[in-house]
Amino acid sequence: MNIDDFRLYLITDHKTGLEGRSLFAAVQMALVGGVRALQLRAKDLPADELYRCAIALKNLAARFDARLLINDRIDVALAAGADGVHLGEHSLPTGEARRLLGKNAIIGRSTHQAEDIIEAAREGADFATFSPVYFTPSKAPYGPPQGIEALRRACACSPLPVLALGGIRCDRIREVRAAGASGVALISAILAASDPEAATRAMLAEMH
């Protein structure tokens, strides 16, 4: 896994306001802007639709030499030839995913405390997202944001690259990077932007 590809990890969500564009149009604009890692997350889609969506995104990502991970669904990742999976709190254990997908697959894990990250590393994950750092409506049911200091502590003891997730905006990237995050994961800051390509370029510029 090349962590540089995951500095800006775009999570797709077909329910996010897309400014009148299709999800694929918004994702393509982000890829043009420089995104090189995508997560397909569509928990409410049946398997056949999710598979077709995965194939379409895989083909699109391949044009930009970008990585595609599937949220939770190891079967869909295998069927679509995706680069790996992103596992949540209630997904299969990381070790089982590694056994099924093989040593070359990329496996990310959602975490909410430092102990989660250490366990994910022990079981063979390649990176972890840590959330929610800032307030975001999608994470509100899971409790208040953890804040930048919690992110700093998690990164300090992490054996894995950590991506900050939750309420990430362009003006917060330098702060989370200074706290030790290897990159950021986000949805609306790009997909709901009036110009996803420009939003992507602006965020990548903040990484340096």
Which positions are annotated as active-site residues? 41, 110, 139
- To the nearest 10 degrees (0 to 180), the angle between helices 23-33 and 47-62 is 30
Number of residues that this document lists for the chain = 208
Q: Which two tokens stand for residue 97?
A: 């995913």
Rounded-to-integer distance, Cα 174 and Cα 134, Å: 14
CA dihedral 58, 59, 60, 63 (to 10 degrees): 120
Q: Which two tokens stand for residue 192?
A: 């709901």
